[in-house]
Structures are given as structure tokens and as C-alpha cells.
Amino acid sequence: MTWNVLKTENEYQKAIMRTLEIFHAEEGTPEADELAVLLLLVQDYEAKHVHLPEVDIIDVIKLKMEERGLKSKDLEPLIGSKGHVSSVLSGRREITLKMAQKLKDFFHLPAEIFLPSPQLRA
């Protein structure tokens, strides 16, 4: 099959389905070449049309705390005093790069989650 730039949701869905069908194509086969083209086309379509919502890092931190049964006091070694922790969790104080690094490591979060947030400042 000949593929062109994906312009519609229907074309995108067809490309996704075909990608899944030939995902394990052996290198050097026509299917492997088709897969390479499809992956580029899908990536291009998604970059233009699929927008993920921004994540509020404070909500993520609170969720991770809840999952682990942690209290605000447990974040003091990462953020600072009780007042600092309270200010960060309430959104009154911005997360610094140093705090972000510690929180990333502590909660095993991807660094990218801190980047789009307007709360992150050096």
C-alpha cells in the first residue's frame, strides 16, 4: 500500500491499525520499510493534531503522596521546613530546580513532568 501524509482522523486510524499489524516486521522486508514510513506519518500527525493536557505538578505530588500514604512532614527533607512544604503544596511557593530534582528522584517521576509547569523556576 502507498501511504501519504495523514490529513484526517480516519487516515490516522488506518495507519495506526496497519502499524500494529506489521509492528514486528523483520528488518530488510517491505513491511519493515512500510512500518518506518508509517511511524513517521503517525508521529507527524500526532505532533500536529494530538495535544495532551498539561499536568499540574502539585496534583501529581499530592497523588503520589496519597499512593504512598505520606504526610506533608515526609516532604520536609526534600523541600525544606514545614512552612515551605505547606507553601509549595498550596501553590503559594514555586518549585525550584533543586526541589524538582529531589521530588523527581523521590517519586520516580520523569523530569519532563516538571518542565511545562509555570511553577518551575531556578
Lowest mean pLDDT of 31-35, 39-43, 52-56, name the range: 52-56
The total number of structural domains that make up the chain: 2
Residues 32, 83 share a domain: no
CATH of the domain at 91: 1.10.260
Q: By residue range, what is the domain housing residue 78?
A: 57-121
Residues 41, 61 share a domain: no
Per-residue DSSP letters for the chain? -------SHHHHHHHHHHHHHTTTPPTTSHHHHHHHHHHHHHHHHHHHH--PPPP-HHHHHHHHHHHHT--GGGGHHHH-SHHHHHHHHHTSSPEEHHHHHHHHHHHT--GGGGSS-TTEE-
Digit-coded pLDDT (tens) for 80-109: 999 999 999 999 999 998 999 999 999 999
